[in-house]
Amino acid sequence: MSNDTKIAIITGGSRGLGRNAAVHLARRGVASILTYNTNRAEADAAVAEVEAAGAKAVALQLDVGEAASFSDFAGAVEASLKGTFGQERFDFLVNNAGMGLHAAFTDTTVADFDRLMNVHLKGPFFLTQRLLPLMKDGGRILNVSTGLARFSLPGYAAYATMKGGVEVLTRYLAKELGPRGITVNTLAPGAIETDFGAARCATTRRSTRWWRR
């Protein structure tokens, strides 16, 4: 593999939007280190799909809710960069991994809140911090938020609160990493029919009709 091949780390790249991103990047010649949390078989299928689309890929296990594991993860990334890609650094980080929660504000528990905060806010914050020394100057960071951080639907207070935090973090990172030429952006999708909330999509489509007009 040539030394100027670009490499993306995509958390939650084994399914849904992350996997789709990895396949699209592969069509442009970008290799991927994609992560999974629990489902190794899906991660292997994603690697095969990325490779069929024309780029190298490797799957690493990562729970973005476990900040204590990020040093080990960074070690695994370093080993993959050298062993699989023959490089020291990567180019792009997509903070995408996550799960949803649909619960009324009054029903949301402290445990629900903590789980969402660990995965969607604390995770991207400290994972990015830990991986930055391995990122090339001039790199790109994309933080996946949600449209729910910009409009309000009952049932998503805790989830959207974390994503709102990620949007603030994105602006601060853009300022602080600017001197290294690293750009940091938010992607805030509307409802997309992945495993994440397929059952909710129909409801969301109906209830968001007012803002699409």
Site residues (CB under 6 A) for ligand NAP?
11-12, 14-18, 36-39, 42, 62-65, 96-99, 119, 144, 146, 189, 191-192, 194-197
Contacts of 13 (CB under 8 A, 6+ apart): 19, 21, 22, 32, 33, 34, 35, 36, 43, 46, 59, 94, 96
Alpha helices in 37-92 (DSSP H): 40-52, 70-83
> Which one, 63 or 91, has the nearer CB to ligand NAP?
63
Query: From the CB of 146, what's the least distance to ligand NAP, in Å?
Result: 4
Give the nearer residue to ligand NAP in terms of CB position, either 25 or 144.
144
Catalytic annotation, residues: 159
Of the candidates 8, 129, 126, 116, the one whose C-alpha atom is nearest the C-alpha of residue 57 is: 8
Q: Which is nearer to ligand NAP, 88 or 151 (CB)?
A: 151
CB of 172 to ligand NAP, least distance (A): 19
Residue nearest to ligand NAP (CB): 16
Cβ of residue 75: shortest distance to ligand NAP, in angstroms?
17
Interior angle at CA 14, CA 146 and CA 170, nearest 5: 35
